[in-house]
Amino acid sequence: MKYIRLVFIVFIFCIYPVAAQNPEELRSFLPEEIEGWVLSDKMEIFHEDNLFDRINGAAPLFIENNFLEMTAMEYNRGEDYITIQVYRHATPEDAFGMYASERSSDLPYLSIGGEAQGDDSHLYYFAGETYVKIWSNTNASPVLQEIASRLAVHTNPHATYPALTRIFPKKNLLPYSLEYITANYLGHSFLHAAYTAKYDLEGELVHIFILDANTPQEARKMLDSYFEFAGQAHEYEQGPLLVKDKYTGTIPLIWKGQYITGAFTDDSGAYERKAGEMEEILREIEQNIENIK
């Protein structure tokens, strides 16, 4: 019956508009009691200036991903607890990026929000502008999933990956390798808003990225900075380009409008072996760009 009830809840909330996400509303989305677990009256709210107090060393990455606010809540059942942390970010892309940066190869995937992972005592997902982390000191998987599902359908019942990730070619794409990097991509302050994916090309790991500069003018500024870093001339037009990054190696690029897409391997010497296949992926992305709007 509890699973039927959960499905019904998801259906009901999906037909209504997405609710706002301030701390009081987030708490109102949760029942006061679930299967003997009682929602605590205590609710903590953290912002950029005090996030370090709760998560210490992890705070800089959240802030880099345009973190706005974290709401912490808890369920209790005797000595056991379930902790809920709802991180609100500036955009859905930022929330997805934060979630993707903390993916674990040890956790199975769940159908909650845009993507979720969880086990008996942990559950993580993103939906809309929120990245949510839930964990318990005991085996409470069904309750964790019910909590996550209730929150997810309120914040964004149709959550999915950012639209731009859909233009990555599917062939040879490694599952669950899509990410979003808000800033300092490849260690360069001038490279930002990077959508990334990993490909397996006959045993060679290849990284593909798409930079969204918002305008063609900003894309040129980004490229100017990259070519200056590489010591290359700034005389170029839209289309295929090549930058020789002294740290990453030779990187084929294609500049089209506000987008720059590129490829590289962990082994800088692998460019010669995989150049043709890498460029083929970039050309397919160039064609797919026409369909992203």
pLDDT at residue 293 in the model: 60
pLDDT at residue 60 in the model: 94
pLDDT at residue 270 in the model: 79
Residues 21, 92: Cα–Cα separation, whole Å: 13
Terminal CA-CA length for the chain: 42
| C-beta separation of 158 from 178 below 8 A | no
- This model's pTM is above 0.75: yes
Q: Looking at residues 245-251, what average pLDDT do you find?
A: 93
DSSP output for 37-93: EEE-S--EEE-TTTHHHHHGGGHHHHHHTTEEEEEEEEEEETTEEEEEEEEEESSHH
Q: Looking at residues 266-282, what average pLDDT do you find?
A: 88
| C-beta separation of 73 from 37 below 8 A | no
3-class SS at 200?
strand
pLDDT band of residue 195 (cuts 50, 70, 90) is very high
Residues 255, 197: Cα–Cα separation, whole Å: 18
Cβ-based neighbours of 20, under 8 Å, separated by 6 or more: none
Contacts made by residues 109-112, CB under 8 angstroms, sequence distance 24+: 109/176, 110/145, 110/148, 112/145, 112/148, 112/149, 112/152
Give the tens place of pLDDT for each residue, 65-107: 999 999 999 999 999 999 999 999 999 999 999 999 999 999 9
> Would you give the distance in Å from CA 63 to the centre of its chain?
14
| C-beta separation of 177 from 250 below 8 A | no
Residues 200, 168: Cα–Cα separation, whole Å: 14
Task: Identify the helix (H) or strand (E) that includes residue 262.
Answer: strand 259-265
